Amino acid sequence: MLKHPDDLSTLVALRQKLIREKAIVDQQLKIGVQNQMEETKEALDILGTTKEQVLGVRANMKNIDSLCKDTQGLITDYPRIRKISQTHQNFVATQTLVNNFQELHQDLDRIKNMMRDDMKNILGPAPNLLLVHYQLYKLENLRNTTMHMAKDESLDVKVTLKQYFGRLDQVVEEFEEYLWELSRNMIDLIKNKQGAVIVRLIKIIESEEAADAKSVSTKTERRASRQGLGNKKTDKPAREAKSLRSKFFDVLHDEVSRKFNILMERVDKEPIECLDAIDFVFPDLALVYDDLVPRSPSNYKIFPFFVLEYHRHVYELANKIVTSPELDGGRILHLLRWVREYYASMNHQLGVTEELLEPQLLDGNEQGLLDEYLKLVRTNLVKWINNMMNTASNEFTERTAAPATDSDKLYHMQTASLMFEMVNQQVSLAADSQQSTVMEQVIKECIQVMKDYQQRWRDLITTEMKKQIESPSTTPPGLAEYIMAATNDQIKCAEFADAVLQRMESENLIKNPKNFESARDLLNETMDDFFDVATHGANALLDLAFNDVKDPFSKLHTSNWYEEDPMGLIVATLRDYNDDFRVHLNDYMFNKLIDWMLERLMIAQMDALRNRGARLKFPACTERLEQDRAAVFNFFADYKNPKDLEDDFDAIEQLHKFACSTKRTAYINFYSMKRIYHDLPISLVEDILGRRDDMDRSSIKEVMDPIKEKFKDKDPIDATRSATIFSKVKQ
């Protein structure tokens, strides 16, 4: 009952069912034992009565024997009368034998004509079957009697008689072959509503078996007589045992073998087609149970015979399929599912449990086949992914043409759709197995391949970015476009993985709750990993963009800053990048990229206050800082809600406000900022004050002393507060 792990979910129901069945069986046993006791008592009473009757019969038989001996003396010439009577009996028997001997060939002609009529349609009613057997049986007795009478004659006489009866032997052989042809077509006879033919066939076999048993008994008596163990001499004609029942079952075995041998010849080329082609097993066995069993003697056990014959040939076919060179992953799953359905059909349709079917299909090696299937899945997926990634890697690194675009003008690399086409193919194959463990293992194998795919894209983007940053003159153009394509593919992969999860839920592909939860968690984790790789790609795009504005950033707050507009150049460059990102990058990732770009720009502005040669010249710097903030704000207002931007710009505004404070208001502005941004680094505060041209060392010390005291007062609550943007500023 517990053949597979999925069956554990029905454990409680099985236990209750077994308890009910046990109670019923116990009650039946109790009633059966009581009835048996009563019948045994009654049988003992009958046995006692029978013993008395046997003793009475014995006494009566002795009286009859005594009277017989006494009456022989009362009849005059009794020996002569007895001899004349015996002579008359011998004369009549001889005359009958001679007449039968003379009519032998005429009888054989009539028998052959009747056989010919019946054999015209092997699936017909065969009305002459019993009559033909009866006539042949008589003629065989004639032959046996004649040969027995001639046992003491010369060799020439025996040879002549044997030649005379040769035609009879030939007809008997033809009749037996006709019987076996009928036996080979038993299933078709049942389908053709000719059950009466089967009854007559089995009647003939039973008749011959009875004759064989009588012949064996005669030989036993003859041996006993020779050894002096018998009371009377036995002189009956000998008969060769035909053993038709044994031959009958041999013919049935050969016919079943013939059906399966046809499939065996095709199994190497069409393994699964051959497996599906044995759908005749269950209808045939149902016919045997419904129509053949009622027409057969119970001691033939005809149904168990057919069940085991069919099962053993199915076992051989399944084993040959396992060793077939054409056995791939899909065929392995088909075979495993077919085996489960076979046992279920045997149980539900025919009432034959798995325990009764020996040998066990696949020799109980389902797990080994499953492991082989998973190995094939793993090998094929790795092979496909390697080929796909090799092609994609060449496109990504060589960049001889722009990446492909979809209907929404988004760049893509086509790897996402190809990979999940393979994944969905494996999921569909696993779904056909109808086994939760198979589906879970396939999902795990697919997820492992996805993780390898993610890592390869992560490494590829990192490697190409390094080349671009370190030696831009030697690298092909178009890296940003290809990173956008790879990033879009990762988002598609996350969507495809979610579709697989939705399919698992809607189609109930994994019925075991524990297995489903495991697969669901793995898929959710994989989706998060796809977003992580997409994030890596988006950050690479930002690296490219900010690498192009390194020079303008280095001029901020320096002497050039007061004469030129480096922030205007930064904003213009980033806008050019964003115009491309907005058109060709996934909307979700573009919005995330804008958020990350804003954060990077804020951090870069903060770090720029420490630029080499930076000098805050008052009062000019105050106006320039406001202009820079306004330029950046207006830039991001094209992509984000201005009200949301006010919160994002609060940190840089407060930092600039502190940078432009007077000595009297510096601490107050610092305190306001520190209260909100608990992780504000003191080094940044000190560096900003050091860049002011209106403060000397003593002024800076005067401002910094209370600030340092404030930094010493560690608020325990700060340890539990979330990090702010200042945590990412250089310490």
Residue 692 pairs with which residues in a beta bridge?
A: 616
Return the H-helix or E-strand segment holding 14.
Answer: helix 11-72
Q: What is the pLDDT of residues 636-657, one digit of tens each?
A: 999 999 988 999 999 999 999 9
> Which tokens belong to 141?
């007795």
Cα distance between residue 509 and residue 435, in whole Å:
8
Residue where a domain stops, chosen among 479, 510, 537? 537
With a cut of 50, list the residues of the chain below it in pLDDT. 229-234
Do 410 and 463 sit in the same domain of this protein?
Answer: yes
- Contact, 723 vs 679, CB < 8 A? yes
Q: Token pair for residue 365?
A: 């090696």
How many C-beta atoms surround the C-beta of residue 233 within 10 A?
9
Q: In this structure, how many other beta carbons lie within 10 angstroms of the beta carbon of residue 551?
A: 11
In the numeric block, the tokens 């041999």 are attached to: 250
State the Rg of the chain over Cα: 51
- DSSP letter for 412, please: E
Q: Is residue 557 part of a domain?
A: no
**Same domain, yes or no: 578 and 715:** yes
Distances (CA, A) of 565 to 514, 552, 553, 668: 62, 9, 11, 31
How confident is the model at residue 35, as a pLDDT?
85
CATH of the domain at 383: 1.10.357.50
Q: For residue 235, is it within any domain?
A: no
| Same domain flag for 591 and 661 | yes
Residue 544 lies in a domain: no
Q: Are residues 288 and 253 in the same domain?
A: yes
- Residue 565 placed within a domain: no
* Residue 236 placed within a domain: no
Residue 549 domain-assigned? no
Alpha carbons 605 and 449: distance in angstroms, whole number: 42
Looking at residue 231, its pLDDT comes to 47
What is the rounded CA–CA span in Å between residue 678 and residue 711? Answer: 10
Domain boundary among 537, 563, 594: 537
What pLDDT is recorded for position 225?
56
Q: Which amino acid is at 302?
A: I
* pLDDT at position 105: 82
Nearest to 574, CA basis, from 606, 546, 605, 539:
546
pLDDT tens for residues 514-538?
Answer: 888 888 999 999 999 999 999 999 9
Residues 394, 530: one domain? yes
Whole-angstrom distance, CA of residue 714 vs CA of residue 717:
9
Residue 126: is it exposed, middle or buried by C-beta count within 10 angstroms (0-12/13-18/19+)? buried
Same domain, 676 and 715: yes
DSSP-assigned letter for residue 279: G
- Which residue, of 58, 74, 90, is where some domain finishes? 74
Nearest to 380 by CA among 319, 338, 421, 432: 421
Task: Please give the Cα distance from 439 to 458 (Å, whole number).
Answer: 28
pTM listed for this prediction: 0.67
Alpha carbon distance 614, 275 (integer Å): 83
pLDDT for residue 230: 46
**Domain span at 581:** 574-728
Question: Does residue 569 lie within any of the structural domains?
Answer: no
Handedness of CA 369, 371, 373, 376 (dihedral sign): negative
Q: Answer yes or no: do 681 and 696 share one domain.
A: yes
How many CA atoms within 13 Å lie on the side-chain side of 249? 14
In 359-478, which residue ranges form alpha helices assigned H by DSSP? Answer: 366-398, 415-433, 436-470
| Of the candidates 107, 159, 94, 160, the residue with the CA atom closest to the CA atom of residue 137 | 107
Using alpha carbons, select from 609, 655, 601, 607 the residue that is nearest to residue 632. Answer: 601
Indicate the number of domains in the chain.
Answer: 5
Identity (one letter) of the amino acid at 81? I
pLDDT of residue 100: 67
Closest among 466, 454, 450 to 397, alpha carbons compared: 466
Together in a domain, 315 and 408:
no
Question: Is 348 part of a structural domain of the chain?
Answer: yes
Residues 190 and 321 in one domain: no
